[in-house]
Amino acid sequence: MNNERMRPPLGKMLKRVAVLMKQKNYNEAMTTLESCVKINPDDIRIWENIVVCNLELKQPKKAIEALEHIIRIQPESVKAWKDKAYLHILLQENIEGIEALRKSLRLQPRNARDWQLLATALMADEEWDEAAEALERAILLQPNSAVLWYNYAVYHFLIDDYDAALEAAHYAFSLDPTLESLAEDWLEIVRSGIAEQEEIFDSEEDYEAS
């Protein structure tokens, strides 16, 4: 009986929240949502609105806290894990972002974009082997993605594997020639590095021949 009594006011309050949010009155919407939480702390609609309000109010940390409530209620919510990961990475909280992305990908493993984001976060933490694995998973899902191949080239550049970087870059440019303009600076370093390695190799061969 108590639950039945609580539903009408909660529904009216959420309608008011929708109106306030449409008017961009996010502070008042938050005040109403805080009252809604007291009525039913397990109603996902409330927490979803709290996430949006906090993002509009430029409070990403509080948005993350609201997402954690959604995950508490629905631990297999891919969207909540994904949004949590994006916000952590935006805040340069890579460890938390990586953990949330991994949980999202366990639930939805065929998401090339999230594998790519995971690789980017892992590279920022210099987790090179795991970053390569994430990029390769993304490429398997989208083998004709020029951006993925470009990122794979950048990965090889960052670990000083210039031959592999050049090979991946050329393949990316064959898929999308416009990407080549983005790579001018680091490609010059790659080509210089390869030329230098070839000179060293030639010098060693000459020395051995003599």
Residues 1 and 71 in one domain: yes
The CATH number linked to 4 is: 1.25.40.10
User: Among 76-85, 109-118, 151-160, 193-202, whose mean pLDDT is lowest?
Assistant: 193-202
Amino acid (1-letter code) at residue 190: V
20, pLDDT greater than 80: yes
Q: Do 29 and 43 fall into the same domain? A: yes
Name the pLDDT band for 59 (thresholds 50, 70, 90).
very high
DSSP codes of every residue in 45-102: HHHHHHHHHHHHTT-HHHHHHHHHHHHHH-TT-HHHHHHHHHHHHHTT-HHHHHHHHH
How much is the mean pLDDT over the chain? 91
From CA 57, how far away is CA 26, in angstroms rounded? 7
Please give the residue range of the domain that contains residue 68. Answer: 1-75
